[in-house]
Structure 1
Amino acid sequence: MTTSPRQTVEAFIAGFRLQDVDAALSTVSGDVQVTVYPLQLSDSGKPVISKVLDDIVVSFPDLHLTVRNVLELGRVVVVEMKIEGTQAADYLGAINQEKHLDVDSAWRFTVTGDAITGIDVYWCQNQLYRRLAVKRTDQVTIV
């Protein structure tokens, strides 16, 4: 059964929302191109997006995603969503202080056939660090 690009992306988001990384990854091509701009990460392959998702769901076990907007432009689907949760593990070098995170993000998906072949992720890293009570962005962790 053929699905629309929007349906493919919605299945990814549904898996992510349920913290079921495997379900989210079931919609992703093995050679997906992933760019997470705040992390300065640009690489290809399912393991790349798997790590990004795993890090989020492990660090924020009460994860809550609020989808604000979905825009389908042919093969490209843009999702604007808020990522919320309480930190329960170190995340991106920020030590766990059990702070509540709520960060606005935009995810741009490219879909080919029934699989996601490109994922570009944007969020404000300064907003993320402020929410996690990081005092200095030049020295995220205390050594």
Structure 2
Amino acid sequence: MSATLTATPADTARAFLDALAAHDVEAALATVEPDVEVVVHPLGVSGTSRDVLRSVLGDLATAFPDLLLTVQRLIVTDDVVTALVKVEGTQAAAYAGIVNQEKHIDLDQAWRLTIADGRIVAVSAYWCQQQLYRRLGVKRFDQVTIVGGAQS
């Protein structure tokens, strides 16, 4: 484990979320262990490295450059912090296989952060993928437009 960055799990979670809200992906990643366990359930993304999380957060920041992340509640249970957040922004690039249609999203999410020695060691993210699809103008969930013209 790396040196302790902050005093409590809530402090670490706030530092991560504040950096993400400020569109500073690298500062958010500075609170994360290199071998962090990442699971983003709606996107079907999982892995055990900071690069996996960098990709997820970078895609979000790129697709929604006006991203507004509002922390609605932090629930702290020992070394686990569950952050209930609202994500808002206007799509400016392809995201999650959805071509850019410059649609606005407002999406409630839950991020479960496991913290050890002041560092995030696991991240699990949850949200309603169908709500995201609707907000971004997907008409048929069985034929989400994939960048480059492929269908899924």
Aligned length: 143
- Select the residue among 124, 131, 135 that pairs with 2:128: 124
In the alignment, what sits opposite 2:45? 41
Residues 2/25 of structure 1: CA separation in 2 closer, same or farther (3 Å cut): closer
In the alignment, what sits opposite 1:17? 21
Using the alignment, how far apart are the partners of 2:72 and 2:18 within structure 1?
A: 14
Equivalent pairs: percent with the same residue?
50
Q: After superposition, where does 1:33-72 map in structure 2 within 5 Å? A: 33-72=37-76
Query: How many Å apart are 1:2 and its aligned residue?
Result: 4.6
Q: After superposition, what is the alpha-carbon deviation per residue over 1:97-135, rounded to whole angstroms, capped at 9, x for unaligned?
A: 100011110000000001100000000000000000011
Query: How many Å apart are 1:45 and its aligned residue?
Result: 0.4
Whether 2:110 is the aligned partner of 1:110: answer no
State the TM-score, normalizing by the size of structure 1: 0.97
Which amino acid in structure 1 is aligned with residue 91 of structure 2?
A: Q
In the alignment, what sits opposite 1:98? 102
Using the alignment, how far apart are the partners of 1:74 and 1:43 within structure 2?
A: 24
For structure 1, the residue ranges without an aligned partner over 5 or more in a row are: none
State the TM-score, normalizing by the size of structure 2: 0.91
**Aligned alpha-carbon RMSD (Å):** 1.1
Using the alignment, how far apart are the partners of 2:99 and 2:122 within structure 1?
A: 30
- Select the residue among 122, 128, 143 that pairs with 1:139: 143
Whether 2:31 is the aligned partner of 1:27: answer yes
Using the alignment, how far apart are the partners of 1:120 and 1:66 within structure 2?
A: 18
Q: After superposition, what is the alpha-carbon deviation per residue over 1:20-75, rounded to whole angstroms, capped at 9, x for unaligned?
A: 00000000000000000101122110001110000000000000011111011110
